[in-house]
Amino acid sequence: SQTIHQWPATLVQPVGSPLSLECTVEGTSNPNLYWYRQAAGRGLQLLFYSVGIGQISSEVPQNLSASRPQDRQFILSSKKLLLSDSGFYLCAWSVQANTEAFFGQGTRLTVV
Amino acid sequence: QKEVEQDPGPLSVPEGAIVSLNCTYSNSAFQYFMWYRQYSRKGPELLMYTYSSGNKEDGRFTAQVDKSSKYISLFIRDSQPSDSATYLCAIMDNYGQNFVFGPGTRLSVLP
């Protein structure tokens, strides 16, 4: 069966520090991968999605970036965090084309 | 107009009640519809997935889609305190790459 792992679960980082969140998927090949951010009491905002290794589409311009160095690995990064980067970050995967998405357990990031 | 709108809630119901959660969408290109349940501080969990108009039932849950009205609903029968969570509708466009989520409705089922 397929599983998705996302870590860390909680992170407190100072303003201006770098960020690296990692997500891996097991049990499937060539998945679509997604990074979402969820602000308190608000819906999910799509940040990045990837349909293959090295292929990243950005939905929202910001100081975050994403990379997909391996088929089932998706990384969210920042060189310098802002206070506004605080939120709940979710990684998700779906089988290629027209199927439902499955989510990791999320990372709660607080920038102080 | 937002692409997906959802009853804002919060919604409180007594145990055993029938719950109706609703979303509307604006783009007729949307073809695939999902409902997710999200407990506090957890990732969303898929409840229902459908791509056709009509009803789809799974246990106490029924998803209803009306493409002509661009309206989707989730019904929960015999609601339980364990159903207390935020419910998110999600819609995928016909290109199969992008999901659009509603803002969520928080439901509390009181024992």
Residue B101: list chain A partners with CB under 8 A: 36, 43-44
Query: How does B4-15 read in b/e, with b if 16+ C-beta sit within 10 Å?
Result: bebbeeebebee
Q: Which residue of A has its CA nearest to B86?
A: A41
Res A88: pLDDT: 95
Res B32: pLDDT: 87
DSSP string for residues in chain B = --SEEE----EEEETT--EEEEEEES-TTEEEEEEEEE-TTS--EEEEEE-SSEEEEETTEEEEEETTTTEEEEEESS--GGG-EEEEEEEEETTSS-EEE---EEEEEE-
A with B: how many residue pairs have Cβ under 8 Å apart?
61
Residue A6: list chain B partners with CB under 8 A: 43
pLDDT tens readout for residues B23-82: 999 888 778 899 999 999 899 999 998 888 889 999 999 999 999 999 999 999 999 999
Res B13: pLDDT: 96
A40 touches chain B (CB under 8 A): no
Res A64: pLDDT: 94
**Inter-chain residue contact A106 with B45, CB threshold 8 Å:** no
pLDDT tens readout for residues A19-71: 999 999 999 889 999 999 998 767 888 899 999 998 998 887 678 999 999 99
Nearest residue, CB atoms, A49 vs list B32, B88, B98: B98
Cα R_g (chain A), whole angstroms: 13
Res B1: pLDDT: 62
Q: Which of A55, A89, A100 to mutate against chain B (most B CBs within 10 Å)?
A: A100
**Inter-chain residue contact A49 with B45, CB threshold 8 Å:** no
Q: How sure is the predictor about A77, in pLDDT bands with cuts at 50, 70 and 90? A: very high
Residue with tokens 């309206």: B71
